[in-house]
Structure 1
Amino acid sequence: MTGPDKRIRIAVAGLGVIARTVHLPLLQRRADLFDVVALSDLSPTRLAELGDRHGVEPARRYADAAEMLAGGGCDAVLLATSGSHGELAATALSRGLPVLCEKPLAYTLAEAQRLTETGTALMVGYMKQYDPAVTEAARRLDEIGGPAAVHAVEVTVRHAAGDQQLAFANLPPAPGDVPAAAVARLVDADQRLLDAAVGADAGARALYQILINSICHDLSLLRLFTGAPATVDHVATWPLAPAGPAEPSVEISGRLPAGGRYGIRWLNLPDYPAYRETVTLHHARGALELDFPSPYLLNAPTTLTAVDRHRDGERRTVFRSVTEAFEQELVAFHTMVTAGAPPLTGIAEGAVDLRTSQQVVRRYGELTGAAIGGEAAG
């Protein structure tokens, strides 16, 4: 374990959108804590461009993430590759490397179990848990009685198209130099993992991928505020129109551990003007309302509005901070590596979110007649 003031030599696997727009710029901003020493990506163009930009020597630029891990010379690894991270995370942990893992942690509970047996120094990248507005909401909730005080939680995600969320970044077109055979191997591996998780039904697979790639952030907030859902009572999916987007909209509801209720609506709205997510915790004396902007907009404040009674009227107080949640997550990861501080979501908590997601898929099958297989059928 390195000293608390030492810069961590970090290797980054996967140079897609989240690495380009968020992780690499913030690692550069926090050069007091991190030194990017190795990169991996299937695209030689991306490797050359970002390797030059971040001063990574050509010998430490890899087409294969596993080869990068085998190359050594780093203290920790950030996994931002597409698909399941179970295998790469297990490889890193087996080499004694702490891991900051973008979601999804894995596709299957079997992968999560393997990680538990391999090591524990892993943080799942749920940056919303580190948002200053979320921290303040948790503090205020604790003051009024904690999870038992929550009557209901309402979540609404208006999911605008990715190109609208990323227009500000002026990213170059996707490179055309990614080897087709490598992509085919990755796709095949993910398809086999989806079969093992939920079976072959197309609707169940689409729902599961939305859960583990996006709604997982909302599940992580539920865990933080109230504990993971106790039940999944209702699940529905529906398209915008017969010729609408491939991914459906999703609605989920059920009971919280202390007896309150939760409802999540994830609305796939490609032409919506901007991404927006609201999380409202209702309690007997008012509400705590969180309004999240697009996650790609660094230092765009999340707004917390606390509503309660004051004398004979309503009082609304607003909390905002431009401190970036992703940056706070990186600072927490540095503390985990250097001081052993536990993350807000490690392997065990990530497995809870996988289990909840499979429970949602199982309920979807019960309500629609879809044939659910794999772990979710158990």
Structure 2
Amino acid sequence: MKIALVGCGAVTQAVYAPLLSRRRDLFEVTAVCDLSRTLADAVGDRLGAPGRHTSLDAMLEAGGFEAVLVLASGSHGDTVRRALAAGHAVLCEKPLALTRAEVAALPEGRLMVGYMKQYDPAVRRAEALLAELGGPEAIRSVEVTVLHPSGESQLAFANLTRAGDVPADLVARLLEQEDALVSRALGEQAPAQVRALYAVALGSICHDLSLLRRFTGSPAEIGHVETWGNAPGSVEISGPLPAAGRFSIRWHYLEDYPAYRETVAIHHDAGTLELAFPSPYLMNAPTVLTVVSGGESRTEWREVTEAFEVQLAAFHAFADGGQPPLTGRAGALEDIVTAQRVAARYAVQHGLPIGGEAA
């Protein structure tokens, strides 16, 4: 399948470029696009892509590919809209967008949203075990803890090419557009701490929201939200699960923490299913599933199959054969709605203004 990449930054260089290099049985990268010509050339050289662009319109007009991977930072709504309108299948990294309106504006087409943890073999096994236990109704609680060091420390091994050739006025204009989208989501008067919380919810905690969607369904209510520490700081979110039990998410940005760690513990009457995730940038580092059952029996299961690679293969099966993805536009919209509920609950608790879609 001939594909094009939009965005040649950290996640493309550290994750997608190595995987696409070794999965040439599935994909041929024929075009890349980035605001930085330096990054476009670096990734294009690495993957042998003849098309190098700094404009999405120019890339779409040139064509020569069947599908588009949207890997840039920020909201992806407009990029996805244009790629779908041009008739391409699209794999879009999370979040799909910053607003519900952007999702509503998307045309019909083949869209898969990338939450690679959903494709992790350990997660799929946990889903199967949970189904054997009785499904969401068997859950007493889901408890998530994320210890998040700086992105720089997580990516120190990757020897990234840096962009220094994007005009400052273009960057400023894009940041203004992004801020306008956040204002549409949260209201013009939403203060900095509410905006920062929304950024964390959609940029990182959304992975855990996507797992809740798989295990239990999206929370219909957010009961409590708190933040502390210098932004992005720490975030605590809790509330009832849709079928039974409750959930809690504790997310901590720890600048100098030695290594990324994320645990998701599903407690039920007869034991616990616990997932421990490594840094997402470490290819083929295993996620460990620990099963605790009666009589203090503990079983560990790990698999070195890379979740991002499974996700790429699933996209090929979706775009080429119509096999439904684990998250399409409906699931991505659920996560946007949940993130807006998180921001709204925090604002209400603290007497802060909230408007826009979140109101």
Q: Same fold (TM over 0.5)?
A: yes
Q: Retained in 2: the 8 A contact 1:107–1:194?
A: yes
1:288 pairs with 2:273: yes
Q: Retained in 2: the 8 A contact 1:66–1:88?
A: no
What is the distance in 2 between the residues matched to 1:66 and 1:357?
31
- Which runs of 5 or more residues in structure 2 are unaligned? none
1:49 pairs with 2:31: no
1:265 pairs with 2:250: yes
Q: Retained in 1: the 8 A contact 2:273–2:290?
A: yes
Shift of 1:182: 2.0
Name the structure 2 match of 1:301. Answer: 286
Q: Deviations over 1:282-320 (max 9, x none)?
A: 0000000000000000000000000000xxx21001110
1:10 pairs with 2:3: yes
Q: Retained in 1: the 8 A contact 2:271–2:292?
A: yes
Name the structure 1 match of 2:191. Answer: 201
What is the distance in 1 between the residues matched to 2:169 and 2:57?
17
Shift of 1:259: 2.1
AA matched with 1:106? A
What is the distance in 2 between the residues matched to 1:156 and 1:70?
45
Name the structure 2 match of 1:330. Answer: 312
Matched residues, number? 357
Q: Deviations over 1:75-107 (max 9, x none)?
A: 000001111000010101111111100111000
Name the structure 2 match of 1:5. Answer: none
What is the distance in 2 between the residues matched to 1:85 and 1:171?
22
What is the distance in 2 between the residues matched to 1:366 and 1:195?
17
Query: Over aligned residue pairs, what C-alpha RMSD do you find?
Result: 1.0
1:27 pairs with 2:20: yes
1:251 pairs with 2:241: no
AA matched with 1:248? G
TM-score, normalised to structure 2, is 0.98
Name the structure 2 match of 1:279. Answer: 264
AA matched with 2:27? F
AA matched with 1:55? G
Secondary structure in 2 matching 1:22:
helix
What is the distance in 1 between the residues matched to 2:7 and 2:130?
37
Q: Deviations over 1:45-84 (max 9, x none)?
A: 1122222221122xx1100123212221110000011110
Name the structure 2 match of 1:63. Answer: 54
Shift of 1:120: 3.7
1:190 pairs with 2:178: yes
Q: Retained in 1: the 8 A contact 2:136–2:244?
A: no
Q: What are the equivalent positions in structure 2 for 1:345-364 lying under 5 Å apart?
A: 345-364=327-346
AA matched with 1:279? V
Q: Retained in 2: the 8 A contact 1:120–1:347?
A: no
Name the structure 2 match of 1:366. Answer: 348
- Percent of aligned pairs with the same amino acid: 56
- Which runs of 5 or more residues in structure 1 are unaligned? 1-7
What is the distance in 1 between the residues matched to 2:163 and 2:243?
50
AA matched with 2:318? M
Q: Deviations over 1:197-240 (max 9, x none)?
A: 0123111100001011100000000000011012100000111x
1:79 pairs with 2:75: no
1:314 pairs with 2:296: yes
What is the distance in 1 between the residues matched to 2:36 and 2:265?
41
Secondary structure in 1 matching 2:196:
helix
Select 2:164's aligned residue among 149, 170, 176.
176
What is the distance in 1 between the residues matched to 2:56 and 2:235?
34
Name the structure 2 match of 1:228. Answer: 218
Q: What are the equivalent positions in structure 2 for 1:57-136 lying under 5 Å apart?
A: 57=50, 60-115=51-106, 118-136=107-125
AA matched with 1:15? C
Q: Retained in 2: the 8 A contact 1:288–1:305?
A: yes
What is the distance in 2 between the residues matched to 1:301 and 1:202?
37
What is the distance in 1 between the residues matched to 2:41 and 2:79?
22
What is the distance in 1 between the residues matched to 2:244 and 2:48?
53
Q: Deviations over 1:123-142 (max 9, x none)?
A: 11100000000000001001
What is the distance in 2 between the residues matched to 1:120 and 1:346?
10
Q: Retained in 1: the 8 A contact 2:143–2:265?
A: yes
Shift of 1:175: 2.5
